[in-house]
Amino acid sequence: CPPSPTGSQNTQVLVKPPWTPVVLWDRVTLTCQGSGTPGATTWFKDGQLWGPEGPDSLVVTDVGSYKCHRSGTGFSPIVHVSNDWLMLQVPARALLEGDTVTLRCRG
């Protein structure tokens, strides 16, 4: 494989259940993934440090903007968690033109 371009994003947040937008009442678990040091994960909520370094997974109990940092691979993109009363969701994965997509209307 060719080397990653400079500045590429290696740290990601896996969302379970895998739907976007992410809503609090889905009982969401966020898992920080990357090629950095396992167990050396730091979580941030709304730009502020959220708990001590350690767990790779976080059960979301409040609305906000979450991201993680893995030693060696940096910060993940931000995951926004809302508490809207009605939500149209799509699968939280890359979609390509021509894909069959299941939409989920939740309230």
- Is residue 11 over pLDDT 80? yes
Asked if pLDDT for residue 3 goes beyond 50, the answer is no
Measured in whole angstroms, the distance separating CA 35 from the mean position of its chain's CA atoms is 16
3.40.50.2300, 1.25.40.10, 2.60.40.10, 3.40.50.920: which CATH number matches 12-93? 2.60.40.10
Pairing of strands 19-20, 22-23: unpaired
At 5, is the pLDDT very low, low, confident or very high (cuts 50, 70, 90)?
very low
Tens-digit pLDDT profile for residues 18-76: 998 999 988 999 999 887 666 788 999 999 998 777 789 999 999 999 999 988 788 99
Residue 9, both tokens:
């994003």
* Global confidence as pTM: 0.80
| pLDDT bucket at 82, cuts 50 / 70 / 90 | very high
Residue ranges per domain, the chain?
A: 12-93
